[in-house]
Structures are given as C-alpha cells and as structure tokens.
Amino acid sequence: MKKSLVAIAILVSLFTNSLLAQNNRKAGSLGREEYIEVEKNVKLHVTDLGEGAPVVLIHGWPLSDAMYEYQYAYFVEKGYRVIGITLRGFGLSDKPGGSYNYDVFADDIKVILDKLKIENATIGGFSMGGATVIHYVAKYHAAHVSKMALFGAAAPIWTKRADFNYGFWTKEDVDGLIGLNNTNRPQLFATFGAIFPANETSVSAGHGAWLGTIQAQASPYAMGECLKTLRDSDLREDLKKITIPTLILHGKLDKICSYELAEQMHLGIKNSKLVPFEKSGHALFIEELGKFNTELLNFIK
C-alpha cells in the first residue's frame, strides 16, 4: 500500500512539474496563426513575420505568398512586419469550389486584416494580386491601409475591348488559355514560363524551377475561374476611387501585363508614381530584386 502511495506521489509530482515547465516556457513563436478562417470551412495560409510597421503582400496567378520569399527576408531585416496572404485556391490555402473573383478575394483580405487588427499598412499586389489590391482598396475605402503598391499589375483591364486597346490579350486568347488549363495544364505552365521573364537569362533555371513548384500547388479549378475573372473584369471605375499614395512598379519588357497597362493605371490613380524597370519582364521581383526591394522600401518610408 505504501509503495503504491509513493508511486502515486511521484507521478503527481512529475505531472505538476511538467505543467509548471509548460507555463514558464517562453513561446518560441509570436503567437500568430498560420491559417486564418475567412468563412466556414475555408482557411487561408498567411505568412506573418517580423515586428514593426505592417506590409501586406498579395501574390499573382497562379502563385502563392511563397513568391515573396526575398521580400520577407529583406523587410524583416529592415524592421517591418510582413504579412503574405495566399488567396483561396492557391498554395497552402484551402481550395473550395465556388466563386473566384475580385469581390471574393477582397472580402477574404478584409476578414484577415480585421482579425489581425492591422492599421496603416502598405498593401502590395503582383499581377492578378495587383488587380485584387486595387479592388480591395476601392471597395473597402482603404480599410486598414494607408499606401498601395502595384507590381506588374493585371489592371485596369487585362483583355482588349472596343474602348480599351491596350495590352496583349484578347478575350479569345484567354479562352484558349482556359481550354489549355482544362486539358493540358503542364503546357499552360510552360507557355507562361516562356514569357514570364524578359529573356532566357534574366531568371535563372533554379528560380524558374522554384516558381514552378509554387504554381503546381494551385487548384486547376481556381486557375480556370481566375482566368475568367482576368478576362472579364474592368477596374477603371475602381481606379477613380483610390486616393491613397500609390507606387506602380512595372517591367518595360513585360510580355504578360504590358507596360501600357502601367501607364493607364498611372493616369487613372490620382496620387500615383510609376517606376519603370528597364531590364525586367513580368518577373521584376526577381529580375531586378535589389531595385524592387529598395523602391518599395523608400515608398513605405
């Protein structure tokens, strides 16, 4: 009996000490969620690093927030909090059926910034993410943000039409891309991979392979639905609603989102500054990495 009581006492002591150790342990993380629920059964992946003034980054099609690897490293080192949001359907975020348009994306971003209690952030978006950011700022009157940055943005309109003869793509061209997505997605990746950089050497083979692994995580359904959104959306009215300071970074040699689009955005957004990247195609965040990070940092400052 005494041996049993001694054994029980030892177990209680060990359990108590374990609890005390857990309570006294300093958390290794900053206590931030990596996955945030934006609606029932839909969670988005969020990279949330560093401490300081917030910088929110939205990726392009068909990438994820992982594309900003070299921005995370740079801005955390400079004393900023960097928050990369992966849109539904891409990367490590949930991939539900349903709508994939700028309204849904803007609503998701709003939920995340509400939950994180972000204020006075700089929000930036690349390609389709740039169009998403434009719609977010216009729809929610720049809630949580005080500055906007656009990188090779697919805006204000990605496809030509009777009253907008800019860019490279017609609606018929995009219909072809949708067909390719639904029958031969590897060929679609190869097609875009060939025109993503300014030339064959401006993005290394290693970086190209890295981007390829990110793209492969995307939902084929989400990719197709987003191509429809890119094909059909007109954000010219949204541009008129934006009053916060805006930085436009765009490659002069961009074969996906023509530099003409950057000029149209600059004309449509009152308080905007356009910075051309002379040596870059669509991959300006890699092709001229140093300039990209420096220009964005100077704008945020």
- Best CA proximity match to 154, nearest among 167, 145, 142: 167
Residue 4: predicted pLDDT: 55
Please list the active-site residues.
127, 254, 282
Sheet strands (E) in 160-300:
246-251, 272-277
Phi then psi for residue 127, to 5 deg, are 55, -120
pLDDT at 11 exceeding the cut of 80: no
Phi then psi for residue 43, to 5 deg, are -115, 140
Q: Distance between CA atoms of 14 and 31, rounded to whole angstroms?
A: 27
pLDDT at 194 exceeding the cut of 60: yes
pLDDT tens-digit map of 96-133: 999 999 999 999 999 999 999 999 999 999 999 999 99
Interacting residues of 256 by C-beta distance below 8 A, sequence separation 6+: 127, 152, 154, 168, 192, 195, 196, 281, 282
- Best CA proximity match to 49, nearest among 26, 74, 76: 76
Sheet strands (E) in the chain:
35-39, 42-49, 54-58, 81-85, 121-126, 145-151, 246-251, 272-277
Q: Kindly tell me the burial class for residue 174, based on how many C-beta atoms sit within 10 Å of its own C-beta (0-12, 13-18, 19 or more).
A: middle
Residue 31: predicted pLDDT: 77
By the 8 A CB rule, do 273 and 250 touch?
no
By the 8 A CB rule, do 133 and 239 touch?
no
Question: Which pLDDT band, with edges at 50, 70 and 90, does 12 fall under?
Answer: very low
Residue 25: predicted pLDDT: 59
**Three-state SS at 239:** helix
pLDDT tens-digit map of 81-97: 999 999 999 999 999 99
Residue 296: predicted pLDDT: 98
Question: Which pLDDT band, with edges at 50, 70 and 90, does 30 fall under?
Answer: confident
pLDDT at 198 exceeding the cut of 90: yes
Q: Distance between CA atoms of 110 and 89, rounded to whole angstroms?
A: 17
Cα separation values, 52 from 81, 119, 274, Å: 5, 11, 26
Q: What angle do CA 67, 72, 73 make, to 5 degrees?
A: 115
